[in-house]
């Protein structure tokens, strides 16, 4: 009962925040793409929260400690701030695009975008099931070990793969082609975060250097 009440509360709170970011710049409630996106995003994120609360509550607590203030490294505070701003920018710009009709997309493309959002978050769930140390901030936890199974056997940062898939789907889900251009800001931010994170892991996490020799690609197999 308590978990159900918390889930409903978090879903409603998230829906209100997303609604303000989307319906205010769109200046209309007649924006079905935004309604569907809010349901898909809210259901997916809360589904992950429910799973972790039942299976790995310690990880859920670590995931709650995210954002710029949770980072211990100055460069990561800047990087995560830019990442948040770019995601908010994608949503607000896409809503403005809907309002002024700069680059409308067909309805089926918006639905594909929703599928990408759900897929990206599902990838994140798979990663969290594999790695109980997958917190929201970059730090080394007590007894942390290198994970090399599941998606970690394919790329070194599968969590960020899920993030990229989700971010790619957001502007499409909200009905904007031009919103994809803002992702050009997100990709370099993600690359800088990965490079800095790896420098710390090689220095502070035993076995990580050997893992990088075994799994060569950071984000995209055969590319990078």
* CATH value at residue 32: 1.20.120.1630
Q: How far is CA 193 from the centre of its chain?
A: 13
Read off φ and ψ for residue 74, nearest 5 degrees.
-55, -40
What's residue 153's pLDDT?
92
Ranges under pLDDT 70 in the chain? 1-4, 7, 65-74, 135-142
Residue 143: inside a domain? yes
Q: Domain tally for the chain?
A: 1
Residue 140: inside a domain? yes
Residue 73: inside a domain? yes
Residue 30: inside a domain? yes
What's residue 111's pLDDT?
97
Q: Which residues lie below 8 Å from residue 73, measured CB to CB, with a gap of 6+?
A: 138, 196, 200
- HSE (CB half, 13 Å, CA atoms) of 68? 11
What's residue 99's pLDDT?
96
What's residue 205's pLDDT?
85
Q: What is the pLDDT of residues 75-121, one digit of tens each?
A: 777 777 887 888 888 999 999 999 999 999 999 999 999 999 999 99
Domain that holds residue 135: 2-214
């Amino acid at each position: 009962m308590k978990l159900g009440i918390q889930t409903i509360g978090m879903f409603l709170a998230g829906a209100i925040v997303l609604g303000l970011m989307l319906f205010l710049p769109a200046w209309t409630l007649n924006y079905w793409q935004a309604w569907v996106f809010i349901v898909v995003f809210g259901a997916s994120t809360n589904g992950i929260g429910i799973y972790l609360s039942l299976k790995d509550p310690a990880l859920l607590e670590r995931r709650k400690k995210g954002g710029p203030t949770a980072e211990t490294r100055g460069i990561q505070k800047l990087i995560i701030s830019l990442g948040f701003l770019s995601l908010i920018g994608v949503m607000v710009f896409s809503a403005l695009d809907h309002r002024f009709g700069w680059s409308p997309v067909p309805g089926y493309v918006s639905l594909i975008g929703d599928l990408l959002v759900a897929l990206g978050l599902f990838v994140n769930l798979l990663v969290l099931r594999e790695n109980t140390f997958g917190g929201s901030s970059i730090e080394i936890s007590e007894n942390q070990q290198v994970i090399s199974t599941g998606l970690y056997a394919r790329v070194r940062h599968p969590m960020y793969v899920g993030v990229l898939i989700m971010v790619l789907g957001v502007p499409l889900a909200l009905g904007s082609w031009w919103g994809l251009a803002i992702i050009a800001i997100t990709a370099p931010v993600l690359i800088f975060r990965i490079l800095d994170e790896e420098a710390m892991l090689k220095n502070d996490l035993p076995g990580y250097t050997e893992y990088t020799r075994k799994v060569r690609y950071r984000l995209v197999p055969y590319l990078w």
